[in-house]
Every structure is written in C-alpha cells, then in structure tokens.
Amino acid sequence: MPTGMAIFGHAWVGAVGRVSIGTLLMVVGAVMGLPIACALPAAADPREDPIFGISELKFGALDHDTPGLWSGFGVERQSVDANIEVLFLPWAYTFGGYLRPAVGATINFNGDTSKAYADLRWETESASGVFLALGMGAAVHNGEINLTDPARKALGSPVLFHPSAEVGYRWDGVNSLSIFADHMSNGFTQRYNEGMDTVGVRYGRRLGPIVSDTPAAEVSIANFSGPYVGAFAGYQYETADWYGVPPVGAAQRSLAWGAYAGYNVQSGKGIFGLEVDGSPAKRNVGVGCEVGGISCQMEISGVYSVRARFGWVVSNLMVYGTGGVALAPWQSSVVNLTTSQRFDQAGGLNYGVAVGAGIEYKLLPNLGVRAEVMHYGVAGWDLNLPTAGTTADQFQSYVGRVGITLYLQ
C-alpha cells in the first residue's frame, strides 16, 4: 500500500475506535471477496461503449453511524452496512481531475437508518493508480426526523446534504480497493441536526474508459481568478428557537447588508475559492418561555462565515455553490419580565453551518455582479428555566441578496 494510503488508513482505524476486530474482519472480508463472487477477471480492458453511460460500479461494507467523525457521536446499533454505487461517464475536466455523477445506496440490515444518494464527484488519479475523490450531493433516508426514538438519530429532514471522500488504489486500470467515508446532515436548517457518518472499504470495477479521446472545443470564457472584495444588500428572514417542553420561537424580517472578500482559483471552466463575509447588524429577539412571566432573549452581534466556493463558468457567467462555517457572537438569557432578574445567561462566539448558491456575471474584466441565497444555522447553549428544567437555543438566517464585486486582478 502506498505511504499516503497507509497514513490515511491508520487515521481511519483510530477514528472507528468502537469497531471490534471481528467487525473489521467482516468488512474487509466482504469487500475482498467481491471480485471473486462476481467472477470478474483480475485485469481486463474496460468496454469502449459502456451501457447507459455507466463507467464504474462500486460495492462496499461500511461501519454504521461511526462516532468521532463529523457528527461527533454515534447512537444507532453497531453494524456493517452494504453500499452499492453507480458512477457515470465524466462530463467535465478541471483541477487535474474529472467530474462525474454518482448514485448509490447504503443499506442497514438491523432496521436502523438506510439511505440513497445522488452526488457530483470530483476524482483525480495518478499514473501509479492511487486516486482521490471528493463529492457533494443530496441523500434521502428512512431514519427518524425528530427525537421520537432514543435509539435512532434525529436527522431533522427527509432530504439531507451528502458530502463524501474516498482514497484508493487501482492496480490494473480496472479494479480498485478504497477507503470511503460519507456524512449526511441538514446543516442546521432544521430543529434537529444530529447527522450520521459511515466509513469503510469498497471494491470498484471500471466498465468503460474514463476520459474521452476527443478534445473539447475551445470556448472563450471570463476570468474569475484572483482576489476580490464586494458589498451586498438584500432581505433576510431570521428565527430564534428555544427547545424545551413545549418549544417556543420568534421570527423577524429585515434588510440585510454587509461585505465579503475572497480568492478564486480557476482551472478551465472550474472555480474553487475561499470567501469570508459579514453582516454586522445587531439583532435582538425575545419570546415568552414555557414558564409564565419568563422571557427567553437572544442578542446577536452580527452573522459571519468562512466558506469554500465551487463554481462553473459559462461565457461571462459563473454558477456556484458554497458551504462552510457560520459564526455568530451572541448573548442568551432567561429573564423575569416583572423584576428583570436574569435566572441564567450565556454568551460567546457560536458556530454552525453556512450554505448557499448563486450566480455571478462579469460586466467588465474587474467588475462583477452577483445574486445569491444563503442560509446560516448556528446552535447555542443550554439555559436553566425556573421549575422547568433546561432549554436549548438555535438561530437561523435565510438571506436573499445581490452584490457588486471588484476583482483586484
């Protein structure tokens, strides 16, 4: 195994600390046996005319609801899930790799959460056969939405974000073994967002050539690379929720304004960038708690984010998606409405998830305009309520905005 894969493998085994040796042997044995079970030759040239545009099939055995990864903890029963995935022919090449659609399913045999997903996968492969793949898409599942079952994850929504990563080795141009990890959650867009991770090993079999021999026609496109700054204005809908028994919440609408800055790298039509943005306006939200005469209050000192952007350029237009960390400094308190006494309070910088999508058009070589939608979701603290236990707070901001961008090229 190449050194890079060995290092990744050691990290993976450490992360899956709860998995017994027997489980690991089941996972490895199941995947290693797939080439034999499927009666596939050890080395062969893939078909030149793949059926239905399918370029590769993958079969895997994954640890279910792995703790210590993105979600942070596991709830559902330890088991080995079956994974099957279909990857289609690449439709674009950028940043030294190719983009191709993937659809798949991960099946749990204990009656816990299973999922199906559709992703866009970027993959690069070296001449030695070592490959790396990163994906983003959407997943649907049969798990729980709310905290109705303490033995199941509360995933918050039937449709979830689905990022994934894979590193592996293809030893003959056709057959491969890899380590695969994926995650699904709603990015704090819903009340519950416990999320779920799976990680394991997969066997892959190519069914067709991965890159077309026909060169793409050269098309003139705008240059979005380099540093930039900008300002935005728009409209926002924001909610503050306190989760007790029963839950209570408040909402408000207002104008949105702020600024952003970032840096883009462009490879052909593909864009990868990093962006920071800030909306420094203060928000004060309060609502009566579940205890009479008590108010749950939230004072937010601005909303900020640090995000990656992934875009595709058509002529002078860039279409992009973005995701990263949302940051919000705020003060939460439980206040007696009669005496103004604070029964409990907490303050500081909280973080969550920022996701969005938009378009940007180059008016001039150094000037662009954009329109985008963003969601910021941030979880807060647990606060004590008199005679009623605790309540946890969460803030969400939905923003539609337009901006003007100055490129410092």
Predicted pLDDT of residue 113: 96
Q: Which of 206, 240, 257 is the last residue of a domain?
A: 206
Give 14's contacts (C-beta < 8 A, 6+ positions apart). none
Banded pLDDT at 16 (limits 50, 70, 90): very low
Regarding whether 233 and 199 lie in a shared domain, the answer is no
Q: Which of 148, 174, 206 is the last residue of a domain?
A: 206
Asked if residue 332 has pLDDT above 70, the reply is yes
122 neighbors 99 (Cβ within 8 angstroms):
yes
Predicted pLDDT of residue 8: 35
Regarding whether 174 and 79 lie in a shared domain, the answer is yes
Residue 387 lies in a domain: yes
Between 337 and 299, name the one with better pLDDT: 299
Round the average pLDDT of the chain to a whole number and report it: 84
Between 18 and 352, name the one with better pLDDT: 352
- Of 134-148, 214-228, 346-360, the least confident: 214-228
Regarding whether 364 and 283 lie in a shared domain, the answer is yes
Per the structure, how many domains does the chain have? 2
Asked if residue 189 has pLDDT above 90, the reply is no
Residue 94 lies in a domain: yes
Predicted pLDDT of residue 71: 86
Regarding whether 232 and 178 lie in a shared domain, the answer is no
- Rounded Cα distance, 175 and 44, in Å: 9
Q: What is the pTM of this model?
A: 0.79
Assigned token pair, 231 = 């300002």
98: amino acid identity, one letter? Y
Give 257's contacts (C-beta < 8 A, 6+ positions apart). 231, 232, 233, 234, 279, 281
- Of 30-39, 154-163, 209-218, the least confident: 30-39
247 neighbors 396 (Cβ within 8 angstroms):
no
Q: Which of 141, 172, 206 is the last residue of a domain?
A: 206
Predicted pLDDT of residue 390: 75
Give 408's contacts (C-beta < 8 A, 6+ positions apart). 226, 227, 228, 229, 366
Predicted pLDDT of residue 388: 62
Q: In 10 A of CB 143, how many CB atoms?
A: 23
The mean per-residue pLDDT over the stretch 211-239 comes to: 83
Residue 211 lies in a domain: no
Predicted pLDDT of residue 237: 95
Asked if residue 22 has pLDDT above 70, the reply is no
Residue 312 lies in a domain: yes
The mean per-residue pLDDT over the stretch 137-154 comes to: 92
280-299 confidence digits (pLDDT tens) = 999 888 777 766 777 888 88
Regarding whether 253 and 153 lie in a shared domain, the answer is no
Regarding whether 201 and 278 lie in a shared domain, the answer is no
- Rounded Cα distance, 407 and 404, in Å: 10
Check which CATH number belongs to the domain holding 343 and give it.
Answer: 2.40.160.20
Predicted pLDDT of residue 251: 87
360-406 confidence digits (pLDDT tens) = 999 999 999 999 999 999 987 787 777 667 777 888 999 999 999 99
- Structural domain for 231, as ranges: 226-407
The mean per-residue pLDDT over the stretch 262-279 comes to: 96
253-262 confidence digits (pLDDT tens) = 999 999 999 9
Predicted pLDDT of residue 46: 53
CA 158-148-352 angle, to 5 degrees, is 55
Bridge partners (DSSP) of residue 180 are: 166, 200
Regarding whether 280 and 314 lie in a shared domain, the answer is yes
Residue 164 lies in a domain: yes
With CA atoms as reference, report the closest residue to 133 among 66, 175, 91, 181.
181
Q: How many Cα atoms occupy the beta-carbon half-sphere of 204 within 13 Å? A: 30
Predicted pLDDT of residue 283: 87
Phi-psi region of 112 (alpha: psi -120 to 50; beta: other; left: phi over 0): beta
Residue 282 lies in a domain: yes
Between 153 and 379, name the one with better pLDDT: 153
Residue 220 lies in a domain: no
Regarding whether 18 and 145 lie in a shared domain, the answer is yes
Regarding whether 253 and 201 lie in a shared domain, the answer is no
Predicted pLDDT of residue 34: 44
The mean per-residue pLDDT over the stretch 255-279 comes to: 96
93-133 confidence digits (pLDDT tens) = 999 999 999 999 999 999 999 999 999 999 999 999 999 99
Regarding whether 238 and 381 lie in a shared domain, the answer is yes
Banded pLDDT at 245 (limits 50, 70, 90): low
Residue 216 lies in a domain: no
Regarding whether 252 and 194 lie in a shared domain, the answer is no
3-state secondary structure string, 176-235?
Answer: EEEEEEEEEECCCCCCCCCCEEEEEEEEEEECCCCCCCCCCCCCCCCCCCEEEEEEEEEE
The mean per-residue pLDDT over the stretch 200-204 comes to: 97
Regarding whether 158 and 16 lie in a shared domain, the answer is yes
The mean per-residue pLDDT over the stretch 240-269 comes to: 88
Assigned token pair, 326 = 């949302």
Asked if residue 226 has pLDDT above 90, the reply is yes
**Over pLDDT 70: what percentage of the chain?**
84
Predicted pLDDT of residue 48: 60
Predicted pLDDT of residue 347: 84
